[in-house]
Amino acid sequence: MSQKMNVDICIIGAGSGGLSVAAGTAQLGLKTVLIEKAEMGGDCLNTGCVPSKALLAAGKRAQMHRKDDIKGIQAHEPEIDFSAVKDHVFETIKTIEPNDSVERFESLGVTVLKETGRFVSKNKVQAGETLITARYFVVATGSRAVVPPIAGLDPEKVLTNETIFALREQPEHLLIIGGGPIGIEMAQAHRRLGCKVSVFDMGKILPRDDQDNVNIVRDVLQKEDITLHEKISIEQVKHTEEGVKLLITKEGDMLEIEGSHLLVAAGRKPNIEGLDLEKAGISSERKGILVDQRLRTSNKKIFAIGDVAGGPQFTHVAGYHAGIIIRNVCFKMPAKVDYKALPWVTYCDPELAQVGITEETARQKYGETIRVAQWSFEENDRAIAERITQGQIRVVTTKKGLILGASIVGTGAGELIGLWALAISSGLKISAVTSMIAPYPTLGEISKRAAGAWYTPSLFSNKTRKIVKLLQKLPF
């Protein structure tokens, strides 16, 4: 028997963004319903951020056994039980899972429907046998991996982020199509867990990041015997009884590379099929649902957030979007998105973190007047003590010192980038970081030293020396 519900807000999708909106609106007193047809927590918890970081942690722990950089500690090849490592991955998911559970959200006052939701009109959604009328809707259905149309490629015979973590057998040779963050993270994790790994990309790896810092990551990956095939074209995929073969063109030569497993990490597409968006008057395109700066769709009572909205595809962006929705819906504040201080991190080792714009983008926008300050972990005392000196920080500013972007490659880069995100969002100049007191010895000192380096050319110039000399003649 069908039933009807009248609510303040209806959210379709229980990923990071949808859960954050539901928790906020329900606790602020709005009658909230959350629709999810699959697993609570969405991609991030079940097939994305959480399992990938757990697998990376296992790989990093294995790599620590191989290191011989501190005298007195004998390096050795670790014994790796690949299937048991996957137990670690799923135990991590299970530990976090209660935070995203139906029970928790129902305890917050959210009505959770484990159904498929679809629009039937501009203000109604059908979820199973329930017809929901709401004042506001939020579409938070996320995205999924794209399998590119390569000759011979069978989508049923490849791995994606949705299936690779359930793989119990250790790949002998893992071939990865895609040199973005997912591809690079999975490449290093599997190599450190004993697999041979090759990565294939039509362009360069990690193209959105500072290329000086990407070069450091590239060098590390190659030293760990990860084969990188960059600037290639994949002509054909051949699935065999033994595994898979890739026929590629590289620098004019035709090569055939054989592997046991193939992982596709070559982009994502929004989950909009089956939503019947046209019945709600919602416009969309290939990249996702079209939204304005307030994340409103062409139907102003319906919002879209996270990956499905076609913007930056990060879990923390979905969380940020949730805050925009709560301010708009609950507090009637016309809050708008602003990505100028959006940080992102590739969790390889060393980590690669970026916020704001890169040097290349800054030069295109501001010309040669920009300034770049940098400092190496090789000159950081904590890094020296721990033998983690590989990496650097690069900070891009205007001529007058306004911070435009920062990129860090090194241990803990993802933790260190937050300072620069705050600086950019607050419109600070680099002098604010220079005047900061940083605890010693910490990796975080690298930020202060880079800021100090920005002033070095002018501070120790002949002009400054003359001023100092004149000032010495004045009484104290």
Q: What are the boundaries of each domain within the chain?
A: 3-40+101-145+269-329, 155-266, 343-461
Q: Tell me, what's the pLDDT at 476? A: 76
Strand spans (E) along 277-384: 284-285, 288-289, 302-304, 343-346, 351-356, 371-376
Q: Tell me, what's the pLDDT at 458? A: 72
What CATH code would you report for 155-266? 3.50.50.60
Q: Tell me, what's the pLDDT at 459? A: 66
Q: How are strands ordered across the β-sheet holding 227-229?
A: 227-229, 196-200, 173-177, 261-264
Distance (Å, whole) CA 386 – CA 263 = 34
Distance (Å, whole) CA 39 – CA 268 = 19
Residue 161 and residue 42 in contact, taking contact as beta carbons nearer than 8 Å: no
Distance (Å, whole) CA 112 – CA 64 = 44
Q: Tell me, what's the pLDDT at 423? A: 98
| pTM (two decimals) | 0.94
- As its CATH architecture, domain 3-40+101-145+269-329 has 3-Layer(bba) Sandwich (3.50)
What CATH code would you report for 343-461? 3.30.390.30
Q: Tell me, what's the pLDDT at 468? A: 74
Q: What percent of the chain has pLDDT over 70?
A: 99
- Low-confidence residues in the chain, pLDDT < 50: none
CA atoms lying within 13 Å on the CB side of residue 4:
5
Distance (Å, whole) CA 26 – CA 21 = 8
Same fold: 155-266 with 343-461: no
Dihedral through CA 218, CA 48, CA 360, CA 379, nearest 10?
-50
Q: Tell me, what's the pLDDT at 460? A: 67
With tokens 């990860």, the residue in question is 226
82-112: burial string, b at 16+ Cβ within 10 Å, e else: beebbeebbebbeeebeebeeebbeeebbbb
What is the torsional sign of CA 17, 18, 22, 28?
positive
